[in-house]
Amino acid sequence: MRSDSSNQSTEKGKHNRLDEINILKNIEVGPPAGSRTSDNCSASVQEGWLGHVDESSVAVNLRSSGKSSLSLMPKERNVMVDDSSSSRNGGEANSLTSNLENISFAAKSGHSNDANPGRAISRAQYKPEKWMLPEKAEQSLTQLNLAIVGHVDSGKSTLSGRLLHLLGRISQKEMHKYEKEAKLQGKGSFAYAWALDESAEERERGITMTVAVAYFDSKRYHVVVLDSPGHKDFVPNMITGATQADASILVIDASIGSFEAGMDGTKGQTREHAQLIRSFGVDQLIVAVNKMDAVDYSKERFDLIISQLGAFLRSCGFKDSSVSWIPLSAVENQNLVSAPSDFRLFWYLGPNLLDAIDSFQPPTREFSKPLIMPICDVIKSPSQGQVSACGKLEAGAVRSGSKVLVMPSATIATVRSLERDSEACPIGRAGDNIAVSLNGIDGNHVMAGGVLCHPDFPIAFAKHLELKVLVLDGATPILIGSQLEFHIHHAKEAARVARISLLLDSKTGKVVKKAPRCILAKQSAVVEVILQEAVCVEEFSKCKVLGRVFLRTLGRTVAVGIVTRIVEEQQ
């Protein structure tokens, strides 16, 4: 199955030519095909309400016609703003990102969140039905959503393709076809990547543009591979895939100069991707040090990468014990699913990549909470009058016949059927990536960036938010009035910084200054933002996945953060 926001008339259940690996081109946030030339690597800049935004952000406006037809009455939340509350935290000298999370949990007590007349029943009062909880006897493998991230050309798609081939998910026949076609186009080295890079433009340019989804089973997990684009123009696409990740593989190109290029503060994506996945809550990481063949499988090179990148990962909030370092070569098939055969890797005695994947801790799932499924993609089949919402179930469960509330259109729909891995499935539970076919709703009322939720537990819809943010190392300062691109789950909106309330010590969370004029790189602060259009959102303390945000400008992520308060809710 393939779906993206451009294929609004995709026939449901139609398999692409890769039947076995069933690649789901998940998210198309980038510009239309053909709108770039292969050497146009820098983000184009356009003027707008946002001021400066990268081209890709303009191409897709999640706030499309469907939403503008809604009547949105702003409603002040009746909460007292306790400036000091946001700064209370455990005081641990953690990494910046984990500290941000600590701060938020402490902050939650400062703002009463029961002041929500539209949502009378608290989520804590929810009682799941029996069918919603998995039976202990169910023997199915745990699903693990695994985001493959890293700098452009580090070999993410080649590694994913090779792994799928080794595990029998791509047949020999299929592989021969890729090899032949890639060679014909003078792109022989991309044969494995072609299994993931499906579109003509991706193949011609030799880069991934959208997130490809493929599946394989390891001993412990049903692994959903989310092969992300590394090119900086497509970071928004990478983000949409990575927000669904339970764990991640950060692919590094070990070649001389390439590792360094990836680590470059302004042009490299290694740091940005690592910071982003950590800010999405991913705390288990494999660093796949790829292309070791290009450095003669040198232990010195591997150790240098560990020391330099390791220090950076620590500063992002990754614990050393949750990071595995695997030297490998995707092209020469070294250390992927078996111990290396090349004698030059004699010094490495650790697990191979597949074993390292099996060593991930199983993700915790919110089975007993009310339904939440951020919609990453919508598939419409006008001929059959069908609409399906695709995404990862973050909490709760659905089955055919379930009533769901589709936000932000606030329309109730009935689940007609479900698909998982392109096959019909009876029940979808937290952690599953599913396509939910809906009855009783106009297709225009289902949109990417929206959320499916339980009718009795509607999520908020707001444009005025208080955030706790951390400005990233090397980023431009954020000022009052700064116009930024605001990302939250699969939604993206133009935002203006209306107020900087507090500057915080990014290590301890203590208030350093009240009402500062700007936030510099590596500083943490409490800010209020006003979005151009409202988004589906929750406070981070109530729902992590709907309360994690990041801010971008000029094609780069400048800050990560969390929603500490919904200042004004739309009805």
Q: Output 178 or 486, the one with its CB closest to ligand GTP.
A: 178
**Tokens 């599913």 appear where?**
434
CA-CA-CA-CA torsion sign (49, 234, 146, 400): positive
Cβ at position 157, least distance to Mg ion in Å: 3
Q: Output 225 or 502, the one with its CB closest to Mg ion.
A: 225
Helix 299-316 and helix 270-279, axial crossing angle in degrees, nearest 10: 40
Of these partners, Mg ion, ligand GTP, none, which one is at the site of residue 94 (CB under 5 to 8 Å by kind)?
none
Which 8-state DSSP code applies to residue 476?
A: P
- 3-state SS class at 441: coil
Cβ at position 224, least distance to Mg ion in Å: 16
Which helix (H) or strand (E) element contains residue 532?
strand 524-537
Is residue 242 within 8 A of residue 234, CB to CB? The reply is no
Of these partners, Mg ion, ligand GTP, none, which one is at the site of residue 396 (CB under 5 to 8 Å by kind)?
none
- Residue at 418: amino acid letter: L
Cβ at position 191, least distance to ligand GTP in Å: 8
Q: Which residues have C-beta within 8 Å of that of residue 430, sequence separation ≥ 6?
A: 365, 366, 367, 369, 393, 394, 395, 396, 397
Closest CB to ligand GTP belongs to which residue? Answer: 230
Token representation of residue 87: 């700064």
Of these partners, ligand GTP, Mg ion, none, which one is at the site of residue 331 (CB under 5 to 8 Å by kind)?
ligand GTP
Cβ at position 437, least distance to ligand GTP in Å: 31
Closest by CA to 100, choosing from 280, 364, 308, 319, is: 280
Which residues contact ligand GTP by CB under 6 A? 152-158, 189-190, 193, 207-208, 229-231, 290-291, 293-294, 329-331
Cβ at position 179, least distance to ligand GTP in Å: 12
Q: Output 209 or 545, the one with its CB closest to ligand GTP.
A: 209
Q: Output 230 or 241, the one with its CB closest to ligand GTP.
A: 230
Q: Which residues have C-beta within 8 Å of that of residue 412, sequence separation ≥ 6?
A: 403, 404, 405, 406, 440, 441, 455
Which 8-state DSSP code applies to residue 344?
A: G
Residue 405, CB-side half-sphere exposure with 13 Å CA sphere:
16
- From residue 341 to residue 360, the character string flagging contacts with Mg ion as x (rule: CB under 5 A) and all else as - is --------------------
Question: Which residues in the 206-225 window bind Mg ion by CB under 5 A?
Answer: 208
- From residue 136 to residue 175, the character string flagging contacts with Mg ion as x (rule: CB under 5 A) and all else as - is --------------------xx------------------
Scanning 18-26, 68-76, 202-210, 546-554 for contacts with Mg ion by CB under 5 A, the matching segment is 202-210
Of these partners, Mg ion, ligand GTP, none, which one is at the site of residue 189 (CB under 5 to 8 Å by kind)?
ligand GTP
Binding site for Mg ion (CB under 5 A): 156-157, 208
